C-alpha cells in the first residue's frame, strides 16, 4: 500500500521548511535509513531518512520549494508495481483544524467593530525611512556584526557560537568574519564562563555572553547578580561590567519544564542590571546595539519562537533604540494592554479580536523591563482607565504585578476597574501539547480579561 | 606543616628583606587595629582578619610588576595593603565612611582599586576565581604580558566553578596564577574533614596545570615560588597553581570563637612559625638591621596605622545621596 511521506518537524519550533534537495528520484528503491532528502529548518540543514522500504512512486514537492508546512505530503512510497498516481494528497494538518476550532469559539460581535490599526509610527526612526523585511534572527546577527565591527573590544563567547554557527544560528558567520579570538566556543560550563566574561569586563573588554537558553543561566546566576550587577556599586563607581548576557528565554515548544521558563521578572528585580525583552526584529536590532554599547550588564531576553518571525526593520547606517522607552503598538481608547516580548503576540491578536467586538484597545510594548517606561503606561491608563497586562512568565511576582502596583500608586483615581494580570499558569511547564497550550497564556484569556475590565 | 620547600639561600638584598618585614608588620598591626575598632563597634558586619598569613601576599607581590592584577575573597585587607593601597582608605571603608575606597558602600569584603589593579574583595566563596581568569583573559586579548593573581582558600578549593575555570584557563593558556591560601580551616571545618585528598596543589593536574606547594610562613619561599609562577605565565605557558600553606591566628571572622582547634595549636604556630618573627631573626642574625632599626620601623608603622584609624573615625559617613549613585555607569 502506498504511504505518504510527510514534511518532518526537525526542531521544536519548526513550522515550515525548505525542501532543499531530493537525493532520490521517482522509481528509486529505498531502504529504511537511506537519506532521501535534505531539508532546511529554521536552524540548520538536516538530512531526512526513509523509515520504510519501498519504491519512490511520486515526488509531490519539487526540490527548492520554500515554506513547505510541516506534515505536508512530499512524496509517495509504495511497493513495486503498485500504481501510486492516484494516491490522495489529503494532508492531515492538525494545526489548521485546531485554529478553525478556536476561531469557531469566538462569539459573534456584540457591538459595532472598531478600526484595528497597528501603529506604523515609530519614535525610533525618521518618517519615510526605507524598510526591509528581516527575521528577528537576522536582526540580532546584524546588530552583533555591526557592533563587533565598530568596537574591537566586543567579543562573543558561549556554547556552539563559533564553529557550529550558533545553536539557534544567531551567530551564523561571525567566526568567519571575526576569527576565533573574538568568537569563542566555550565548554558547557555556564557558571565558569559567565564568571570569566565578567572578569574580562572588569578588565576593560565588552563581552557578549550567549547562553544556549536562559534556563542554563541559572547555573551562572550568582556571577550575573553578585559579580556583574553589584560591583559598580560595591566599588564606589570605580569598576563595573559593560557586557551583554543574551539568549533565548521562556517557553519554546514541547521542551518540558526545565527548558521552558521566563526569567523576565527575576532579572528585572536586580538593581545594577538592565533588562531587555524585544518583540519585533527592529527592536531586537536597535536594542541589541544599544545593549552592546551600554556600560552596564544587560540581560537580553530573546525567544526561540520569535527567531524566525519577520518584521520590517529600518535601513539605516546606525540604528539604535534607547532603553526605557516603550512602544505604542496600537492606539486605542477603551483599555490599555501592556505586554513585552512574545507576550505581544497574544496582546495584538486579542486587540484585533476585540476591535471586531467594538472594543478599542491600546497595546503597549514595554521592550525594556529595567528601566521600565512607566510614563507611557500611566499616560495611557489615564486615557483608557483600564489595564490588562500580558506575559508568559509565572504569575507570582510577575512584571504585571509590578505594573499593577505602580498604576495603583500613581493613577488610582483614574482606574475604572481593577488591573488584571494575564500570565503563565502557576505550574511547571508540562510536556503534553494540550497542557502546554493551557499553561501558557491564550489570546482568549486576554480577550476575556479585557471584557472583564470593560464590563462587557 | 607539610611544607616541602624552604629557601635556605635566597638572592634577596637586605633592603628587600627590610621591605618585606615592613609590609608584613603593616598588615599585622593594621589588622590588630581593625580588630580593636570592631570591638568598639566602629566596624560592623563581617570582618575577616589576615593575621598569621602576611607572608603569603607579601611574598607573592614581591614578584609583580606594574599592570599585574590581583583579586581575592573577603579576607582581603592584607592583599590591599600589600599591593600599595592607602591604609587610610582601607580603614575608612571598614568603618563605612566617605573616605573609604568604595565611599563606604562596599565594606570589609568589597573594596577595589582600579589604580592598583586590585579587583576586590568578593564575598561569595570561589566566585573570584573565574573573575580572575577573566581578568587574565582581558590581558591576553589585549596582547600584553600582565599576570593575574587569583587568590582563594582551602575552603573555596572545593567549589565547582574553580574547576570549570581551571579547564578554560588551561584550554586558553590564560596568564593566571591560582593561589590557594591553605590556612587549613574552611571557617570551622578543618581540611581533613572537608577535602578528600590533602594536596591541593595537585588539583590542577587533571587539567594539565602545573602546581607547587609552598611554605606560606616563609616570605622568601613564597617570593621564590611566585617568581617561578610569574615567569611561567608571562612566557605565555598558561596558568599555574600555588598551594601556599599558611595559618590564621584569629577566628574565621570576628564573631568566630574558634572552638574547632586548641589554643595550644595556635600558640605553637605563633611561637615556632610566625612569618614576621622569621624575617626579624634573619635581619638580626644576618646583621642587616639592628634592634633599634627595627624599633624605628615598628614606630613608623604604628604611626601609619594610628593615623588610618583616626582618619577612619573622622571621615564622615557617606552623604545620603550616595545611596542612589553608582548603580549604573551612565546614571
From chain A, the residues in CB contact with B111 under 8 A are 235
Distance of CA A444 to the CA centre of its chain: 20
- Among A259, A304, A391, A402, which one carries the catalytic annotation? A259
Asked if residue A156 and residue A189 are part of one domain, the reply reads yes
Q: Is residue A139 part of a domain?
A: yes
Report the CATH number that the domain containing residue A24 is assigned in CATH: 2.40.50.100
Angstrom distance (rounded) from CA B34 to CA B57 = 18
**pLDDT single digits (tens) B97-152:** 999 999 999 999 999 999 999 999 999 999 999 999 999 999 999 999 999 999 99
Q: Would an 8 Å CB–CB cutoff place B159 in contact with chain A?
A: no
Domain boundary pick from A314, A344, A360: A314
A239 lies in the same domain as A360: no
Q: Which residues of A touch B165 (CB under 8 A)?
A: 192, 195-196
Mean pLDDT score, B49-68: 97
Do the chains contact at A226 and B124, CB–CB below 8 Å? Answer: yes
Q: Which of residues 199-218 of A touch B (CB under 8 A)?
A: 199-205
Q: What is the pLDDT of residue A105?
A: 54
Which structural domain, as residue segments, surrounds residue A238? 131-314
Residue A260 falls within a domain, yes or no?
A: yes
Q: A274 at the B interface (CB within 8 A)?
A: yes
The percentage of chain B sitting over the pLDDT mark of 90, rounded to a whole number, equals: 91
Residues A139, A117 share a domain:
no
Q: Across the interface, do A204 and B329 touch by the CB < 8 Å criterion?
A: no
Q: How far is CA B105 from CA A296, B112, B321, in A?
A: 18, 11, 12
pLDDT at A119: 76
For residue B178, give the H/E element and its range. strand B176-182
Instruction: Based on the fold, state whether residues A364 and A442 are members of the same structural domain.
Output: yes
**pLDDT tens-digit map of A92-116:** 444 454 455 555 555 554 678 998 8
Considering only the beta carbons, identify the residue of B120, B130, B135 that sits closest to A223.
B130
Tell me whether B113 touches chain A (CB under 8 Å): yes
Instruction: Please give the ipTM for the structure prediction.
Output: 0.92
Residues A207 and A310 in one domain: yes
pLDDT above 70 (res B5): no
pLDDT at A144: 98
Whether A380 is in a domain gets the answer yes
Task: Please tell me whether residues A58 and A205 are part of one structural domain.
Answer: no
Closest by Cβ to A199, choosing from B135, B142, B167: B135
Same domain, residue pair A140 and A284? yes
Task: Give the CA distances from residue B255 to residues B34, B39, B54, in Å, rounded to whole numbers and listed in that order.
Answer: 14, 10, 21
Residue A97: its H or E element = helix A94-105
Domain B14-313 adopts which CATH fold?
Rossmann fold (3.40.50)
Q: Is the pLDDT of residue B267 over 90?
A: yes
CATH number of the domain encompassing residue A377 = 3.40.50.920
A402 is known as an active-site residue: no
For A243-331, list the strands marked E by DSSP: 243-248, 274-276, 297-302, 310-314, 327-330
Q: Which of A165-169, B1-5, B50-54 has the lowest mean pLDDT?
A: B1-5
Q: Write the residue in B69, B104, B127 that is nearest to A226 by C-beta.
A: B127
Count the domains in chain A. 3
What pLDDT sits at residue A61? 92
A259 is catalytic: yes
- Domain membership of residue A444 (yes or no) is yes
What is the arithmetic mean of pLDDT over B77-87?
A: 98
Query: Does residue A99 sit within a domain?
Result: no
Task: Suggest the residue from A238, A291, A370 to mutate for an interface test with chain B (most B CBs closer than 10 A).
Answer: A238
A94 falls within a domain: no
**How confident is the model at residue A123, as a pLDDT?**
76
Mean pLDDT, chain A cut into blocks of 10 residues (456 residues total): 84 85 90 87 81 87 90 86 56 47 52 83 83 97 98 98 96 98 98 98 98 97 98 97 98 91 98 98 98 98 97 94 96 98 98 97 98 97 98 98 98 98 97 93 97 96
Is the separation of the CB atoms in A393 and A214 below 8 Å?
A: no
Contact status of A196 with chain B (Cβ, < 8 Å) = yes
Mean pLDDT of B251-255: 87
pLDDT value for B4: 42
Is B102–A236 a contact, with Cβ atoms under 8 angstroms apart? yes
Only one residue has cell 532520490, namely A24
Q: The pTM is what?
A: 0.90
Residues A305 and A350 in one domain: no
Whether A168 and A303 share a structural domain? yes
- Computed from CA positions of residues A92, A95, A99, A102, in that sequence, does the dihedral angle turn out positive or negative? positive
Same domain, A13 and A46: yes
Please give the pLDDT value at position A299. Answer: 98
Whether residue A236 and residue B164 make contact (CB cut-off 8 A), yes or no, is no
B100 touches chain A (CB under 8 A): yes
Of B121, B146, B244, nearest in space to A227 by CA: B121
Looking at the domain assignment, is residue A103 inside a domain?
no
Q: How many CB atoms lie within 10 A of CB A153?
A: 16
Q: Where are the domains of chain B?
A: 14-313
Beta-carbon separation of B134 and A191 below 8 A: no
A404 within domain boundaries: yes
pLDDT of residue B40: 93
Q: Does residue B317 belong to the interface with chain A, where contact is any CB pair within 8 Å?
A: no
- Residue B168 has its nearest CB partner, among A187, A202, A234, at A187
Task: Mark whether A307 and A362 lie in a shared domain.
Answer: no
Statement to judge: residues A273 and A299 lie in one domain: yes
Confidence tier at B71 by pLDDT (50, 70, 90): very high
Distance between alpha carbon A428 and the CA centroid of its chain, in Å?
A: 20
Alpha carbon of B265: minimum distance to chain A alpha carbons (Å): 36
**Partner residue facing A296 (CB), from B104, B119, B329:** B329
Amino acid at each position: 500500500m502506498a504511504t505518504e511521506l510527510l514534511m518532518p518537524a526537525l526542531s521544536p519550533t519548526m513550522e515550515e521548511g525548505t525542501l532543499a534537495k531530493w537525493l532520490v528520484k521517482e522509481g528509486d528503491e529505498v531502504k529504511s535509513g537511506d537519506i532521501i532528502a535534505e531539508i532546511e529548518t529554521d536552524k540548520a540543514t538536516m538530512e531526512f531518512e526513509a523509515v520504510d522500504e519501498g519504491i519512490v512512486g511520486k515526488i509531490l514537492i519539487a526540490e527548492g520549494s520554500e515554506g513547505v508546512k510541516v506534515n505536508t505530503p512530499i512524496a509517495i512510497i509504495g511497493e513495486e508495481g503498485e500504481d501510486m498516481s492516484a494516491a490522495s494528497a489529503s494532508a492531515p494538518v492538525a494545526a489548521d483544524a485546531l485554529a478553525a476550532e478556536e476561531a469557531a469559539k469566538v462569539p459573534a460581535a456584540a457591538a459595532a467593530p472598531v478600526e484595528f490599526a497597528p501603529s506604523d509610527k515609530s519614535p525610533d526612526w525618521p518618517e519615510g525611512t526605507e524598510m526591509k523585511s528581516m527575521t528577528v534572527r537576522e536582526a540580532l546577527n546584524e546588530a552583533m556584526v555591526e557592533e563587533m565591527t565598530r568596537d574591537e573590544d566586543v567579543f562573543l563567547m558561549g556554547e556552539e557560537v563559533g564553529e557550529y554557527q550558533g545553536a539557534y544560528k544567531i551567530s551564523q558567520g561571525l567566526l568567519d568574519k571575526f576569527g576565533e579570538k573574538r568568537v569563542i566556543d566555550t565548554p558547557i560550563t555556564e557558571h565558569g564562563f559567565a564568571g570569566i566574561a565578567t572578569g574580562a569586563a572588569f578588565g576593560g573588554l565588552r563581552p557578549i555572553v550567549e547562553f544556549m537558553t536562559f534556563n542554563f543561566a541559572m547555573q551562572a546566576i550568582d556571577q550575573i547578580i553578585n559579580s556583574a550587577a553589584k560591583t559598580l556599586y560595591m566599588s564606589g563607581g570605580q569598576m563595573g561590567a559593560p557586557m551583554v548576557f543574551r539568549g533565548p528565554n521562556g517557553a519554546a515548544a514541547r521542551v518540558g519544564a526545565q527548558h521552558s521558563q521566563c526569567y523576565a521578572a527575576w532579572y528585572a528585580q536586580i538593581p545594577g542590571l538592565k533588562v531587555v525583552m524585544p518583540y519585533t526584529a527592529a527592536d531586537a536590532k536597535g536594542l541589541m546595539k544599544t545593549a552592546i554599547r551600554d556600560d552596564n550588564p544587560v540581560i537580553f531576553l530573546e525567544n526561540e519562537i520569535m527567531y524566525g518571525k519577520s518584521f520590517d526593520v529600518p535601513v539605516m547606517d546606525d540604528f539604535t533604540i534607547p532603553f526605557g522607552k516603550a512602544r505604542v503598538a496600537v492606539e486605542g481608547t477603551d483599555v490599555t494592554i501592556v505586554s513585552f516580548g512574545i507576550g505581544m503576540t497574544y496582546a495584538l491578536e486579542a486587540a484585533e479580536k476585540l476591535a471586531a467586538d467594538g472594543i478599542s484597545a491600546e497595546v503597549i510594548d514595554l521592550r525594556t523591563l529595567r528601566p521600565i517606561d512607566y510614563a507611557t503606561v500611566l499616560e495611557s491608563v489615564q486615557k483608557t482607565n483600564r489595564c490588562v497586562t500580558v506575559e508568559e512568565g509565572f504569575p507570582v511576582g510577575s512584571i504585571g504585578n509590578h505594573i499593577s502596583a505602580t498604576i495603583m500608586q500613581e493613577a488610582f483615581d483614574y482606574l475604572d476597574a481593577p488591573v488584571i494580570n494575564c500570565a503563565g499558569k502557576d505550574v511547571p511547564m508540562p510536556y503534553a501539547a494540550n497542557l502546554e497550550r493551557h499553561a501558557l497564556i491564550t489570546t482568549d484569556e486576554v480577550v476575556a480579561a479585557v471584557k472583564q475590565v470593560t464590563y462587557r | 606543616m607539610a611544607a616541602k620547600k624552604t629557601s635556605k639561600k635566597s638572592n634577596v638584598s637586605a633592603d628587600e628583606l627590610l621591605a618585606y618585614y615592613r609590609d608584613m608588620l603593616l598588615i599585622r598591626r593594621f589588622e590588630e587595629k581593625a580588630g580593636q575598632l570592631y570591638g568598639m563597634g566602629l566596624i560592623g558586619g563581617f570582618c575577616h582578619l589576615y593575621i598569621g598569613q602576611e607572608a603569603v601576599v607579601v611574598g607573592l607581590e614581591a614578584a609583580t610588576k606594574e599592570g599585574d592584577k590581583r583579586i581575592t575573597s573577603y579576607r582581603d585587607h592584607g592583599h590591599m595593603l600589600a599591593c600599595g593601597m592607602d591604609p587610610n582608605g582601607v580603614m575608612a571603608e571598614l568603618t563605612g565612611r566617605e573616605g573609604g575606597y568604595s565611599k563606604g558602600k562596599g565594606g570589609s569584603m568589597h573594596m577595589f582599586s582600579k589604580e592598583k589593579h586590585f579587583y576586590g574583595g568578593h564575598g561569595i566563596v570561589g566566585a573570584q576565581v573565574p573573575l580572575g581568569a577573566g581578568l587574565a583573559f582581558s590581558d591576553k586579548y589585549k596582547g600584553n604580558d600582565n599576570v593575574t593573581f587569583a587568590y582563594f582558600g582551602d575552603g573555596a578549593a572545593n567549589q565547582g566553578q574553580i574547576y570549570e575555570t581551571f579547564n578554560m584557563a588551561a584550554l586558553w593558556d590564560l596568564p593566571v596564577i591560582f593561589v590557594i591560601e591553605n590556612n587549613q580551616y574552611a571557617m570551622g571545618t578543618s581540611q581533613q574533614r572537608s577535602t578528600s585528598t590533602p594536596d591541593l596543589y595537585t588539583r590542577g593536574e587533571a587539567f594539565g596545570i602545573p602546581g607547587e606547594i609552598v611554605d606560606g610562613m616563609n616570605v622568601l619561599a613564597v617570593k621564590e615560588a611566585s617568581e617561578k609562577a610569574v615567569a611561567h605565565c608571562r612566557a605565555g605557558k598558561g596558568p599555574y597553581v600555588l598551594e601556599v600553606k599558611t595559618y590564621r591566628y584569629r577566628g574565621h571572622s570576628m564573631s568566630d570563637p574558634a572552638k574547632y582547634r586548641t589554643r595550644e595549636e595556635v600558640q605553637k604556630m605563633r611561637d615556632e612559625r610566625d612569618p614576621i618573627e622569621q624575617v626579624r631573626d634573619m635581619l638580626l642574625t644576618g646583621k642587616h638591621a639592628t634592634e633599634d632599626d627595627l624599633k624605628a620601623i615598628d614606630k613608623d608603622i604604628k604611626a601609619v596605622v594610628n593615623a588610618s584609624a583616626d582618619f577612619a573615625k573622622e571621615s564622615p559617613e557617606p552623604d545620603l545621596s550616595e545611596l542612589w549613585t553608582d548603580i549604573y555607569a551612565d546614571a
